[in-house]
């Protein structure tokens, strides 16, 4: 196990390095500059600014400066908002994005699995159709459409929730609903289909024959196996939720990390592009790693380490 973890850590570092390098290459290839404006400045000012942010160095030097900033975890000041450092932005935005993301995942998994179980148990009954109809809707409506719809109906028309911003638990309900519905629907459909499969297995029939109540069978025997595919797609869902937060944060004016990630690219704010990309990828890589570990723990058939099995 330990060997596996060490090996994975090494691969993670290499992955991160590749991401950083690719990001850097893309960054210097897109035309434009952080100092581009309708007005423009004279050459001396332009040169001073470029020198100040080391943009007058060769690409190789710049590349190593970026690597250095990543190793020392100090991304320096933003070019576009010079009184703030990239670290400030990350420290301020990430906890909020994380809060939004993590609650969304919990809500999506809990409600998705519940819905899936109900649908499977009431297979081909009205509850099944309702649940799956709901799931199809959830998958097909993009989250930004749902977000606008939720605000208009629940915040403007009947004034049940606040329209936007991130101040209290009540403010969280709409953005989380908008963001969680898609993943929830995917999880529900997945749970339903695997659950249906598991329920026809012999060991379930055995449990039924023993006279166990249907709920006991589901919770104790069927669920554990039915959840495996859900764990498998968690990694992908996580990435989806992370990118989903960019849009949702904008619509609900949530002061998270999303806007730095998107705007820095539009503005060619190089230190912020680098900082947010590295941060997001490191986060995602670590999460995927955790999912893999969880997978191994849940299913003893999956061996994370090959002991002499060459």
Q: Does residue 33 interact with other proteins by CB under 8 A?
A: yes
Q: Does residue 244 interact with other proteins by CB under 8 A?
A: no
Shortest gap between Cβ of 232 and other proteins (angstroms)? 28
Shortest gap between Cβ of 275 and other proteins (angstroms)? 15
Sign of the C-alpha dihedral, residues 134, 135, 140, 143? positive
Virtual torsion, Cα 229, 234, 239, 240, nearest 10 deg = 70
Q: Does residue 261 interact with other proteins by CB under 8 A?
A: no
Q: In angstroms, rounded to a whole number, what is the distance separating the alpha carbons of residues 102 and 112? A: 15
Q: Does residue 221 interact with other proteins by CB under 8 A?
A: no
Residue of 54, 81, 232, 281 that binds other proteins (CB under 8 A): 81
Q: Does residue 37 interact with other proteins by CB under 8 A?
A: yes
Residue of 3, 40, 243, 294 that binds other proteins (CB under 8 A): 40
Question: Which residue number, 26 or 156, has a Cβ lying nearer to other proteins?
Answer: 156
Q: In angstroms, rounded to a whole number, what is the distance separating the alpha carbons of residues 33 and 194? A: 51
Q: In angstroms, rounded to a whole number, what is the distance separating the alpha carbons of residues 167 and 151? A: 16
Residue of 4, 12, 27, 80 that binds other proteins (CB under 8 A): 80
Candidate segments 98-106, 250-258, 278-286, 289-297, binder of other proteins by CB under 8 A: 250-258
Q: Does residue 54 interact with other proteins by CB under 8 A?
A: no
Residue of 94, 252, 270, 280 that binds other proteins (CB under 8 A): 252
Size of the site for other proteins (CB under 8 A): 56
Q: Does residue 193 interact with other proteins by CB under 8 A?
A: no
**From the CB of residue 168, how many other CB atoms can be counted at a distance below 10 Å?**
9
Residues in contact with other proteins, shown as a per-residue x/- string from 119 to 148 under the rule CB under 8 A: -----------------------------x
Shortest gap between Cβ of 173 and other proteins (angstroms)? 7
- Between residue 152 and residue 191, which ones bind other proteins under the rule CB under 8 A? 152, 155-156, 159-166, 168-170, 173
Q: In angstroms, rounded to a whole number, what is the distance separating the alpha carbons of residues 34 and 264? A: 9
Site residues (CB under 8 A) for other proteins?
A: 30-33, 35-45, 48-49, 52, 80-84, 88-89, 92-93, 148, 151-152, 155-156, 159-166, 168-170, 173, 213-215, 250-253, 255, 259, 266-268
């Amino acid at each position: 196990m330990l060997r596996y973890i060490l090996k994975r850590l090494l691969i993670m570092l290499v992955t991160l390095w590749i991401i950083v390098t690719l990001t850097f290459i893309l960054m210097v290839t897109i035309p434009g500059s952080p100092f581009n404006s309708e007005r423009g400045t004279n050459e001396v000012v332009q040169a001073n600014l470029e020198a100040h942010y080391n943009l007058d160095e060769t690409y190789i030097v710049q590349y190593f400066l970026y690597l250095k900033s990543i190793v020392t975890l100090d991304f320096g000041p933003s070019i576009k908002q010079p009184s703030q450092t990239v670290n400030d932005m990350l420290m301020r935005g990430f906890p909020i994005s994380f809060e939004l993301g993590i609650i969304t995942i919990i809500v999506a998994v809990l409600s998705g699995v519940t819905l899936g179980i109900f649908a499977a148990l009431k297979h081909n009954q009205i509850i099944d159709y309702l649940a799956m109809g709901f799931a199809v809707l959830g998958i097909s409506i993009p989250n930004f459409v749902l977000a606008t719809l939720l605000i208009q109906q629940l915040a403007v028309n009947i004034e049940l929730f606040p329209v936007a911003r991130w101040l209290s638990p009540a403010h969280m309900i709409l953005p989380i609903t908008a963001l969680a519905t898609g993943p929830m629907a995917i999880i529900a459909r997945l749970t339903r289909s695997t659950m249906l499969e598991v329920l026809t297995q012999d060991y379930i029939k055995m449990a039924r024959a023993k006279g166990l109540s249907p709920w006991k069978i589901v919770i104790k025997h069927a669920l554990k196996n039915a959840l495996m595919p859900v764990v498998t797609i968690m990694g992908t869902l996580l990435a989806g939720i992370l990118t989903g937060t960019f849009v949702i944060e904008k619509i609900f004016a949530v002061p998270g990390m999303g806007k730095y990630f998107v705007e820095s690219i539009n503005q060619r704010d190089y230190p912020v592009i680098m900082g947010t990309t590295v941060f997001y990828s490191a986060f995602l890589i670590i999460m995927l790693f955790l999912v893999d570990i969880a997978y191994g723990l849940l299913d003893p058939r999956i061996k994370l380490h090959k002991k002499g099995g060459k």
